[in-house]
Amino acid sequence: MTSEAKKFMYIRQNLILKLFLHQDEKNISTIVICNKPLGLSKK
């Protein structure tokens, strides 16, 4: 993988994490959000 692709993935994961953590900081499942599709149902 190129460094550009790595950088893009890193930024994308951080944005996703920030988005979900901001919505629900206490939700443990946000930790694994990077490994899941965005369309997951919330509990």
Residue 43 lies inside a defined structural domain of this protein: no
Residue 19 lies inside a defined structural domain of this protein: yes
Residue 41 lies inside a defined structural domain of this protein: no
Residue 40 lies inside a defined structural domain of this protein: no
pLDDT in tens, 5-40: 899 999 888 888 787 766 665 555 555 655 555 555
Residue 42 lies inside a defined structural domain of this protein: no
For residue 15, the Cα-to-chain-centroid distance in whole angstroms is 6
pLDDT in tens, 33-42: 555 555 555 5
Domain of residue 26 covers 3-35
Are 13 and 31 in contact by the 8 Å Cβ rule? The answer is no
The total of structural domains in the chain comes to: 1
